[in-house]
Amino acid sequence: MGAGSVRLAAAAAALLVLATATVCAAQLRRDYYAGVCPNVESIVRDAVTRKFRQTFITVGATVHLFFHDCFVEGCDASVMVASTANNTAEKDHPANLGLAGDGFDTVIKAKAAVDAVPQCRNRVSCADILALATRDAIALAGGPSYAVELGRLDGLSSTSSSVNGKLAPPSFNLDQLTALFASNGLSQTDMIALSAGHTVGFAHCNFFTGRIRGPAPDPTLNPQYAAKLQAWCPANVDPRIVVTMDPVTPRTFDNQYFKNLQNGMGLLASDQLLYSDPRSRPTVNALAQSSEAFNKAFAEAMIKMGRIGVKTGAQGNIRRNCAVLN
C-alpha cells in the first residue's frame, strides 16, 4: 500500500470514529432521566461526597476507573463486572489489577443511593452513575465541574481478552499514545489534557522502577525526585506499595501535573515524554501556565471521552447489580 493509500485509510478511519461519536453524542442528553429520576445528579453527588469524606483515594480511584471503562468497549460500566467461574472479566485483566477498590465502591454506593428512591430503582445505568461520580469526585478535589451527558446503557459482556491493546502502558511513546486516543475520537490535545488525571491518585512502584534502577536513572527524571523515588521504592519493595503521582499537590485536582513535567517530575515515562517530546511540549507549557486553559481543555476532553462506544437500544440494558450481568 502506498503512502497516499495509507493516508486515505487513516482519514477514513478517523471519519468513521468521528461519525460514530457524533451519533452517540446525539443519543446522550443532560436531561435523560428528567421523567424517571429527576434528582439523580444530586443523589449521586451526595453519595460521592460521603465516600470522599471517608477517603481521598476516592478521587483518583474513580477517575482511573472511568478511563479504563471507556477505553475498553466504550463507557458501559463493563469494568465493574465481577469474574465468574466461566468468565474472566475486564477488571481481572493484568492492566486493571491496579484499579483501587474505592473506585468500585464509590459507584456501588452511588447506585445503592439511587435505587433507594423508589421511582429511580433500576432506572439509571451503572455507566451513567460512573460518569456522574467521576465528575463529582474531580470537583470535590478542586477540579473543573462540567455538564455530564446521560443516556448510556450498561454493556452486555465483560471479558479480560477485550482489554488487550486498549489501554496505554507506561512504555508508550507519543505516537502510540496519540494513535490510541485518536482511535477513540480524541485529539492529541485531548490526550495531553486527560493525562492530568494523574494529578491525583497513586501508582505501584513496579510501574516506574525501570526509570530509577540500573546504572543511572532515566535522564529525563529530576535527580532529586529520582532519589526520593529510590527511597520510597527500594529494591525488592512490597508490590503493594504505592506512590502519589503528584508529589506537590497530591490532594488537589489542578494543573500542577504539567508544572511537574516541566521540572522532570512526571512519575511515569509516558507522563514525562509529554514534555520531553518537542511536539507535545507547547501544549504542556500552555496548560501549566493557565489554570483556566487547563480546566477548559480537561472538561471538554472528559465530555468527549464520555461519548466513546455508548450502548443504546438492544446493545445494552440497565444492570440491577453493577457487578453482575443481568
**Environment class of residue 43 by beta-carbon count within 10 Å: exposed (0-12), middle (13-18) or buried (19+)?**
buried
316-317 and 242-244 as β-strands: parallel, antiparallel, unpaired?
Answer: unpaired
Spot the catalytic one: 64, 68, 93, 198.
68
For 82, counting Cβ atoms within 10 Å of its Cβ (0-12 exposed, 13-18 middle, 19+ buried), the class is middle
Residue ranges of alpha helices (H) inside the chain are 3-27, 40-54, 57-70, 101-115, 126-140, 174-182, 188-194, 209-212, 223-232, 256-262, 269-276, 281-289, 291-305
Q: Using only C-alpha atoms, what is the Rg of the chain?
A: 20
Beta strands in 34-165 (DSSP E): 154-155
- Residues 104 and 89: their CA atoms lie apart, in Å, by 14
Mapped onto helix, strand or coil, the DSSP state of residue 124 is coil
CB 93 within 8 Å of CB 81: no
Residues in the chain: 326
* Residue 223 backbone dihedrals phi, psi, to 5 degrees: -55, -40
The answer to whether the beta carbons of residues 193 and 298 sit under 8 Å apart is yes
Extract the C-alpha cell encoding 152: 448510556
Q: Tell me the backbone φ, ψ of residue 325, rounded to 5 degrees.
A: -65, 140
Contact 120, 114 (CB under 8 A): yes
SS3 content of the chain, % helix, strand, coil (to 5): 55, 5, 40
Catalytic residue flag (residue 204): no
Dihedral in degrees, nearest 10, Cα atoms 258, 263, 264, 267:
-50
User: Is the separation of the CB atoms in 242 and 203 below 8 Å?
Assistant: yes
What are the residue numbers of the active site? 68
